[in-house]
C-alpha cells in the first residue's frame, strides 16, 4: 500500500484556492460582490484578454483600514459573519471569507484602498499568497483590486481556461447579472480598452435592463407589477410576439442575486402557452423576493441552481403574475414603416421620372395603383404576404371573387348565389364565445374591406387594423373549446369509418377519453378502423377522415406531454373549423369577426402563437406621408 503523505502546505492551499477561483469570471463575481457589500455607488470593471492577463475592479465603497488589509487576505477572514447564525442569511452576498485569500494565492494581486475617514490609504501587493508590499499611500476613497496573471503558478488550472473571448464573455455575463440586480449602482465595463457597458445607477430596474440588453429587446418588455406577500414577483417579460429562438435572455434573481431555477423558467413559459409560437421562448427578467423564514431556499455556494422547499408555491406566484402582465400589458403588434425620408419635394421632376421607370412593379402593386414614384422609397414593406407562385390576380379563386365583387356594389356583402363554390363560409358569429361577445357591439370599428381574401381591414378612432381572418377565427374557436365545460357534439347522420395507420389507430383508441372530451364519439371497428359517430358541433360538415388522422398525428407528435394532448386536439378542431385564408367570406361575417377580435384582449394570437392582428396608427401614416414629422 502506498504511504499516505500529508500535502505540503502550499500545495493544499493551491488546491483549495482552485476550488473557489475557477476562472476569471469567478474572480470578477467575488470582487464585485465585495464592492456591493462595501456600499459602492459606482463600480468599474476592466479586463484584458478575457481577464486572464488583467482584472481591475474599482469602487467607491467603504474601503478597508490600514490594519485590516493583510487580514482581509487570510483564509476565513471576513467582516460579514460574526457568528454561526449569520450563516443562515443569504442576503449578504459573499460570506465565506475566502475570495481574496484564494485569488491572491493563484495570481498576483495589487490593492489600493482608503476609508473616507482616514487621511491615507493603503497600497498592498501579494503574489502567490506572499505579501510583497504593504505601505501607506495616497489614493481616492474606496477600493481598487487588480488581479494579474491568474493561474500563473497553477498550470493545471491554466490549461482548463478557454479562449480569451470565451472567458471574456463569461465575465461579461457576470457583470450583466450584477448590473441588472443592482440598478442603484452605476456599473462601467471596459474590455480590452473599450468601454462596452455603462449603467446609469438611477435605481430603476428598467434603466439597468435597457443598458444591458439594449433598446431592441427592452422595448419589447412589459412590466410585471410588484407583487406582495411572502413570495413577491416583479420584473419584466417580453410581449408574446417577441419570444425568441433561444433561452438566452432569461434572468431570474432571488432576493437580489442571480440564480437559476427550472421552476421559475417553467412557470414563465407556461404563462406564455398559446400566446407564443411553439419552439420560441420568452425573454424575461424575473425578480423574486421571498421572506427567508417562510420559504426554505437552498443555494449551492458555487453553483447558482436554486431549490425551493415549496416549489409549487413559487411556480404559482410566478405563473399568475406573468400571466396577468401578458393579458393586461400586451398590445397588438404595430406596423412601423421604414423611416426613409419621403422623396416628395426633394427630387427634380427628372429624378422622379427616372425612379418611376427603374423600379419594377409587382402585379399586386399594379392592380392597386401603387406603382407611383412616391411609393418607391417603401419598396419592401415589413409585412410580406406569403403566396404560392401564381400571381395573386391570376389565381382562380381570386378571379372568381373579384368578378363576383364587381357584380355587386363595392364593399357590399357579396351576393349569396356564389355559395355553391367549393368553400362554404362558416358562421363566424355563431362560433364565437359568448363572453367575447359582450362588448363587441359597443366598440367603434368601421369595416373597410378585405385584402387578398385573407386580411380584414378595419378602422377605429386612431388606427387601422389588419386582421388575419383565419388566425382570428381559429383563436375564437379555441377559446370556446377551452372555456366550455363540455364541448358540444353533433351526431353524424351516417357514421364514418376511418381507416388509420397502425400506430394512429392505437393512439386514437388509447386516447379515446380525450377525443370524447373534445366532442368526438369514436368506436373501435377492428382492423385499424374506427367508426366516427359524432364530431364537435363547430366542425359539422368537415372532412371527418382528415380530422381524425390529424388528431391522431397530433397526439403522436414527439415531445408533447400527456397533459397537453387535449389542447393539441383542440388546436386541430379550432383550425379545421375556422374560415380559411384565400376563401370567400361575407363582409358581414368579417365585420363581426373584426369587432370580436378588437373587443377582446384574449384574441391576440392564434393557438400556435402567430399574431391575429397588426395595428397601423394614424400617427404612423401621417409621418409616412409627410403630414407630420
CB of 378 to ligand ADP, least distance (A): 55
Residues whose CB is less than 8 angstroms from the CB of residue 452 and which lie 6 or more positions away in sequence, other chains included:
385, 387, 392, 398, 581, 582
CB of 146 to ligand ADP, least distance (A): 12
Chosen from Mg ion, ligand ADP, none, partner binding at 26 (C-beta under 5 to 8 Å by type): none
Rounded (10°) angle between helices 311-329 and 262-271: 30
Max Cα distance, the chain (Å): 103
Q: Please tell me the number of Cα atoms within 13 Å of 307 on its side-chain side.
A: 5
CB of 65 to ligand ADP, least distance (A): 9
Distance CA 599, CA 473 (A): 14
Distance CA 485, CA 111 (A): 69
Distance CA 395, CA 401 (A): 10
User: Which residue bears the cell 370524447?
Assistant: 516
In three-state secondary structure terms, 238 is: strand
Closest residue to bound ligand ADP by CB: 78
Interface pick for ligand ADP out of 122, 143, 250, 583 (rule CB under 6 A): 143
Task: Compute CA distances 549 → 245, 385, 497, 534, 562, whole Å.
Answer: 30, 29, 12, 15, 18
Asked if residue 495 binds ligand ADP (CB under 6 A), the reply is no
Q: What are φ and ψ of residue 307, in 5° steps?
A: -125, 140
CB of 28 to ligand ADP, least distance (A): 12
Q: Please tell me the number of Cα atoms within 13 Å of 415 on its side-chain side.
A: 11
CB of 128 to ligand ADP, least distance (A): 16
Nearer to Mg ion by Cβ, of 51 and 333: the residue is 51
Annotate each residue in 19-38 with x if it binds ligand ADP (CB under 6 A) or - if it does not, as one string: -----------x---xx--x
Q: Which of positions 37-96 make contact with ligand ADP (CB under 6 A)?
A: 38, 59, 61-64, 72, 77-80, 94-96
CB of 13 to Mg ion, least distance (A): 18
Rounded (10°) angle between helices 99-106 and 24-37: 140
First to last CA, the chain: 87
Asked if residue 519 binds Mg ion (CB under 5 A), the reply is no
CB of 38 to Mg ion, least distance (A): 10
Rounded (10°) angle between helices 99-106 and 9-20: 120
Nearer to ligand ADP by Cβ, of 37 and 474: the residue is 37
Asked if residue 90 binds Mg ion (CB under 5 A), the reply is no
Element (H, E) at 496: strand 489-499
Which of these, 119, 149, 153, lies nearest to 137 by C-alpha position? 119
Query: Cell digits for 18?
Result: 482552485
Distance CA 54, CA 124 (A): 17
User: Which residue bears the cell 393512439?
Assistant: 507
Nearer to Mg ion by Cβ, of 73 and 272: the residue is 73
**Per-residue b/e over 210-222, b at no fewer than 16 CB within 10 Å?**
bbbbeeebbebbb
User: Which residue bears the cell 441588472?
Assistant: 180
CB of 597 to ligand ADP, least distance (A): 56
Nearer to ligand ADP by Cβ, of 70 and 391: the residue is 70
Nearer to Mg ion by Cβ, of 178 and 472: the residue is 178
CB of 173 to ligand ADP, least distance (A): 20
Asked if residue 356 binds ligand ADP (CB under 6 A), the reply is no
CB of 105 to ligand ADP, least distance (A): 11
Nearer to ligand ADP by Cβ, of 303 and 502: the residue is 303
Chosen from Mg ion, ligand ADP, none, partner binding at 623 (C-beta under 5 to 8 Å by type): none
Asked if residue 107 binds ligand ADP (CB under 6 A), the reply is no
Chosen from Mg ion, ligand ADP, none, partner binding at 77 (C-beta under 5 to 8 Å by type): ligand ADP
Q: Which of positions 32-61 make contact with Mg ion (CB under 5 A)?
A: 34
Nearer to Mg ion by Cβ, of 145 and 498: the residue is 145
Of 26-34, 236-244, 397-405, 534-542: span binding Mg ion (CB under 5 A):
26-34
Nearer to Mg ion by Cβ, of 94 and 609: the residue is 94
Of 27-35, 366-374, 408-416, 533-541: span binding Mg ion (CB under 5 A):
27-35
Interface pick for ligand ADP out of 18, 97, 200, 329 (rule CB under 6 A): 97
Asked if residue 94 binds Mg ion (CB under 5 A), the reply is yes
Q: What are φ and ψ of residue 455, in 5° steps?
A: -105, 120
Distance CA 151, CA 104 (A): 10
Applying CB under 6 A, the residues found at the interface with ligand ADP are 30, 34-35, 38, 59, 61-64, 72, 77-80, 94-101, 143
Binding site for Mg ion (CB under 5 A): 34, 94, 99
Amino acid at each position: 500500500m502506498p504511504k499516505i503523505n500529508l500535502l505540503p502546505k502550499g500545495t493544499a492551499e493551491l488546491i483549495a484556492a482552485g476550488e473557489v477561483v475557477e476562472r476569471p469570471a469567478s474572480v470578477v463575481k467575488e470582487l464585485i460582490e465585495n464592492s456591493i457589500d462595501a456600499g459602492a455607488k459606482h463600480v468599474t470593471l476592466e479586463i484584458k484578454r478575457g481577464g486572464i492577463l488583467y482584472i481591475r475592479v474599482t469602487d467607491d465603497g467603504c474601503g478597508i483600514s490600514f490594519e485590516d488589509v493583510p487580514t482581509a487576505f487570510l483564509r476565513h477572514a471576513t467582516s460579514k459573519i460574526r457568528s454561526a447564525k449569520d450563516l443562515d442569511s443569504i442576503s449578504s452576498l459573499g460570506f465565506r471569507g475566502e475570495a481574496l485569500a484564494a485569488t491572491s494565492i493563484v495570481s498576483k494581486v495589487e490593492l489600493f484602498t482608503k476609508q473616507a475617514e482616514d487621511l491615507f490609504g493603503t497600497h498592498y501587493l501579494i503574489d502567490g499568497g506572499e505579501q510583497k508590499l504593504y505601505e501607506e499611500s495616497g489614493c481616492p476613497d474606496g477600493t481598487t483590486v487588480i488581479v494579474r496573471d491568474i493561474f500563473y503558478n497553477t498550470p493545471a488550472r491554466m490549461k482548463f481556461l478557454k479562449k480569451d473571448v470565451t472567458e471574456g464573455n463569461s465575465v461579461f455575463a457576470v457583470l450583466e447579472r450584477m448590473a441588472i440586480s443592482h440598478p442603484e449602482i452605476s456599473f462601467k465595463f471596459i474590455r480590452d480598452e473599450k468601454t462596452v457597458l455603462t449603467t446609469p445607477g438611477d435605481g430603476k430596474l428598467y434603466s439597468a435592463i435597457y443598458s444591458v440588453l439594449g433598446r431592441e429587446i427592452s422595448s419589447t418588455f412589459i412590466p410585471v407589477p410588484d407583487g406582495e406577500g411572502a413570495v413577491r414577483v416583479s420584473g419584466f417579460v417580453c410581449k408574446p410576439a417577441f419570444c425568441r429562438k433561444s433561452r438566452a435572455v432569461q434572468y431570474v434573481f432571488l432576493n437580489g442575486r442571480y440564480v437559476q431555477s427550472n421552476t421559475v423558467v417553467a412557470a414563465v413559459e407556461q404563462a406564455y402557452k398559446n400566446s407564443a409560437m411553439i419552439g420560441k421562448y420568452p425573454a424575461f427578467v424575473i425578480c423574486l423576493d421571498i421572506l427567508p423564514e417562510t420559504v426554505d431556499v437552498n443555494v449551492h455556494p458555487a453553483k447558482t441552481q436554486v431549490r425551493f422547499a415549496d416549489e409549487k408555491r413559487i411556480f404559482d406566484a410566478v405563473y399568475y403574475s406573468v400571466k396577468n402582465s401578458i393579458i393586461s400589458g400586451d398590445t397588438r403588434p404595430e406596423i412601423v414603416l421604414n423611416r426613409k425620408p419621403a422623396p416628395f419635394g426633394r427630387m427634380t421632376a427628372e429624378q422622379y421620372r427616372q425612379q418611376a421607370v427603374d423600379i419594377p412593379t409587382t402585379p399586386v402593386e399594379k392592380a392597386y395603383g401603387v406603382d407611383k414614384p412616391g411609393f418607391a422609397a417603401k419598396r419592401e414593406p415589413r409585412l410580406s404576404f406569403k403566396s404560392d407562385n401564381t400571381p395573386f390576380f391570376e389565381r382562380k379563386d381570386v378571379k372568381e371573387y373579384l368578378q363576383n365583387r364587381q357584380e355587386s356594389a363595392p364593399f357590399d356583402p357579396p351576393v349569396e348565389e356564389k355559395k355553391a363554390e367549393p368553400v362554404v363560409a362558416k358562421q363566424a358569429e355563431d362560433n364565437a364565445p359568448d363572453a367575447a361577445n359582450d362588448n363587441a357591439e359597443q366598440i367603434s370599428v368601421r369595416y373597410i374591406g378585405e385584402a387578398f381574401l385573407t386580411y380584414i381591414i378595419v378602422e377605429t378612432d386612431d388606427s387601422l387594423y389588419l386582421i388575419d381572418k383565419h388566425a382570428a377565427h381559429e383563436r375564437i374557436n379555441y377559446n370556446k373549446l377551452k372555456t366550455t365545460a363540455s364541448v358540444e357534439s353533433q351526431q353524424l347522420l351516417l357514421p364514418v369509418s376511418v381507416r388509420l395507420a397502425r400506430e394512429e389507430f392505437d393512439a386514437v383508441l388509447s386516447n379515446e377519453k380525450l377525443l370524447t372530451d373534445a366532442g368526438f364519439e369514436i368506436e373501435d371497428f377492428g382492423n385499424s378502423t374506427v367508426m366516427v359517430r359524432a364530431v364537435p358541433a363547430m366542425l359539422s360538415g368537415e372532412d371527418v377522415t382528415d380530422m381524425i388522422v390529424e388528431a391522431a398525428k397530433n397526439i403522436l407528435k414527439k415531445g408533447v406531454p400527456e397533459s397537453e394532448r387535449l389542447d393539441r386536439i383542440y388546436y386541430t378542431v379550432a383550425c379545421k373549423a375556422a374560415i380559411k385564408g384565400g376563401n370567400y367570406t361575407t363582409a358581414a361575417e368579417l365585420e363581426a369577426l373584426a369587432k370580436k377580435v378588437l373587443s377582446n384582449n384574449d384574441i391576440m394570437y392564434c393557438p400556435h402563437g402567430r399574431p391575429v392582428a397588426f395595428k397601423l396608427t394614424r400617427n404612423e401614416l401621417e409621418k409616412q406621408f409627410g403630414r407630420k414629422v
